[in-house]
Amino acid sequence: MSAVDALHSLPSKPARSPAAALGSTDFVWRALSLLNLFRLGLGIVLLATFFLVLDPRIVGDTNPRLALGALLSMIGFSLVNLWLVSERKLPAQAQTYLQVALDLATVTTLMHASGGISSGLGGLLIVSVGALALTVERDRAYLIASLATLALLGQQTFAQLQGATATAQFVPAGILGAVIFAIASVVQALRRRMLETEALAEQRGVDLRDLAELNRYIVQHLRESIVVVDAEDRVRLMNDSAASQLGANNRRADQALRGISPELANRVEVWRVHGRPQGMTPPKFSAAYGATMITPHFVALGNEKNGGTLIFLEDMSLIAERAQKTKLASLGRLSASIAHEIRNPVGAMSHAGQLLAESAAIGDSERRLTDIIRVNGSRVSQIVESMLTLSRRDTTQPEQIELTPWLRQFCREFVQTLELFEDTVRCTEVVENLIIRMDPTHLHQVIWNLCDNAIKYASEAAGAIAVELSCGRLEHSSRTYLEVADRGPGIDPDKVDEVFEPFYTGRDGGTGLGLFICRELCECNGASLSYQPRPGGGSVFRIVFSDINRWQ
């Protein structure tokens, strides 16, 4: 799937425009909350000043009782407004106008009780008007500034009528009103820039979330297996392909890598300490379902190996499959040449040797030579037939087979055909209702070759011949497996990889193609064939079949 296709497949999210962001009430509620906290703190400071600074008195010099009432009202209404804002009891616009009325009433009353404009308390309206101008549009901000200026002038007029102030105090009141208007204008310009910045940041956040979701979608659907761990080897990211290979059916956030795959965790630790030796292939380990080998590749996320690490899990079966295609193409051309150039001459030589052996004029020494011709001609014919079998591996016709009844029938057929003692080849530890998908002809040929090898090699070991066939499900992946076990001499550990190579044989008279053909037939059916030593001596050849429920 391409990145464009993945992007179109993601659920679309409507992006918010800057205009829509300007109408958002989140910013308004934050501004109102901060203004309430400021008003509450200011009221507490002024109340402390009222009781502590008495000579000369700064707050309430003209009318202490009126000033005390204004301060208590300021603190009380601030507490009520904090609750109203936190609970969203009123709409944001109504809450804004309520706070305007509160500030105009309490501040002008406090000014009147403290000597008018000369007390300097009128400057508190600058903070209030400036904060509230952040929460409304331009015209309403100027309306609030106008109301504050009128309140200052009205207080000054009332005080002059009472004879408490002089006419000259109108000039500072007018200047303060002009300052309030200027503050409202500056705050409006700042508000516009702030909201546009906030809208842009929110849009960038939406873009980043979409990009992160797209990246996560692409990573999860990659065929390559990817695991990301942090400095403590806890899994931060694992796509589905890697989870399948490691058998991580129950993935959790921050799960330790060792709890998923101890083998991979050990290799990460070795890589952190020693790195990868130059020119050496990274060590392989078996996948959870046992069908393939995995080669891990490590990349440090940052400058330190002890930090985050990106791990690529390379499925060696894919590399082997590509190599096999090239190898089989060559074998196909070679087998065609063998069929035409070697088969007929070998047949003629074998037939001539057979006729010569039937002649009464030859002696025992000549008859021994004809036996050599016959045996080696038969061997060459077998090699030719094996090569032709490899060239025909693409003609696979898989079918669903119930494995356990098929194995029992195979054991009876094999014992009767080779005229072996009963239970020489028998089924042990079988699980019922196992369904596999494989070409029946290929399965028969593979199991026949494995059992035939077991009989031949086990006959060289001391004790009775016993070949055991067992089947079941793997613990991690629940994939079906079949094992052919014997008590023969086994295979040297350094020869395990070679036994599956073509023309390798461990005994005289063999073609060296039996196990090679078995593995090829398994792989063309999506299965795998591997060897492991049997506890107590002997060999175990395990076939892990493809998952019939998995898409091909």
Residue 429 confidence (pLDDT): 81
Nearest to 453 by CA among 493, 513, 496, 502: 513
Residue 12 confidence (pLDDT): 45
Beta strands in 40-171 (DSSP E): none
Residue 379 confidence (pLDDT): 66
**Which structure tokens are listed for 91?**
């709409």
Is this model's pTM higher than 0.75 or not? no
| Arithmetic mean of pLDDT, 376-404 | 72
Q: State the pLDDT confidence band at 544, using cuts at 50, 70 and 90.
A: very high
pLDDT tens column, 210-246: 887 877 777 666 667 888 888 888 888 888 778 877 8
Q: Which residues contact 282 (CB under 8 A, 6 or more apart)?
A: 267, 276, 295, 296, 297
Q: Is 188 left (phi over 0), alpha (psi -120 to 50) or beta?
A: alpha
* Neighbour tally for 103: CB within 10 Å: 25
Q: Looking at the predicted structure, is the pLDDT value of residue 542 above 90?
A: yes
pLDDT tens column, 530-541: 888 888 888 899
Checking DSSP bridges between strand 528-533 and strand 467-473, what pairing results, if any?
unpaired
Nearest to 158 by CA among 104, 107, 126, 111: 111
Residue that wins the pLDDT comparison between 395 and 139: 139
Q: What amino acid is encoded at 383 in this protein?
A: I
Q: Looking at the predicted structure, is the pLDDT value of residue 202 above 50?
A: yes
Residue 402 confidence (pLDDT): 92
Report yes or no: 523 and 396 within 8 Å, Cβ to Cβ: no
Residue 515 confidence (pLDDT): 85
Exposed, middle or buried by CB within 10 Å (0-12, 13-18, 19+), for 545?
Answer: buried
pLDDT tens column, 489-527: 888 887 777 788 877 776 655 667 788 888 888 888 888
Coil, helix or strand at residue 352 = helix
Percent of the chain whose predicted confidence (pLDDT) is above 90: 6
Residue 328 confidence (pLDDT): 61
Q: Looking at the predicted structure, is the pLDDT value of residue 278 above 60?
A: no
Residue 171 confidence (pLDDT): 84
| Arithmetic mean of pLDDT, 397-418 | 89
Q: Looking at the predicted structure, is the pLDDT value of residue 248 above 80?
A: no
Q: Looking at the predicted structure, is the pLDDT value of residue 320 above 70?
A: no
Exposed, middle or buried by CB within 10 Å (0-12, 13-18, 19+), for 82?
Answer: middle
Q: In what order do the strands lie in the sheet with 285-286?
A: 235-238, 225-229, 308-315, 293-301, 285-286
Minimum mean pLDDT range among 247-261, 326-340, 391-405: 326-340
Across the chain, what does the average pLDDT equal? 78
pLDDT tens column, 66-102: 888 888 988 888 898 889 888 888 888 888 888 888 8
Residue 253 confidence (pLDDT): 67
Residue 436 confidence (pLDDT): 92
Residue 543 confidence (pLDDT): 93
Percent of the chain whose predicted confidence (pLDDT) is above 70: 80
Beta strands in 157-276 (DSSP E): 225-229, 235-238
Residue 405 confidence (pLDDT): 92
Residue 551 confidence (pLDDT): 43
pLDDT tens column, 154-184: 888 888 887 777 777 788 888 888 888 888 8
pLDDT tens column, 426-484: 888 888 888 999 988 889 889 988 998 888 876 555 455 788 999 998 877 778 999 99
Residue 332 confidence (pLDDT): 62
pLDDT tens column, 283-317: 777 776 666 778 888 888 877 667 788 888 877 66
Checking DSSP bridges between strand 225-229 and strand 235-238, what pairing results, if any?
antiparallel
Q: State the pLDDT confidence band at 4, using cuts at 50, 70 and 90.
A: very low
Report yes or no: 447 and 478 within 8 Å, Cβ to Cβ: no
| Maximum mean pLDDT: which of 332-336, 369-373, 409-413 | 409-413
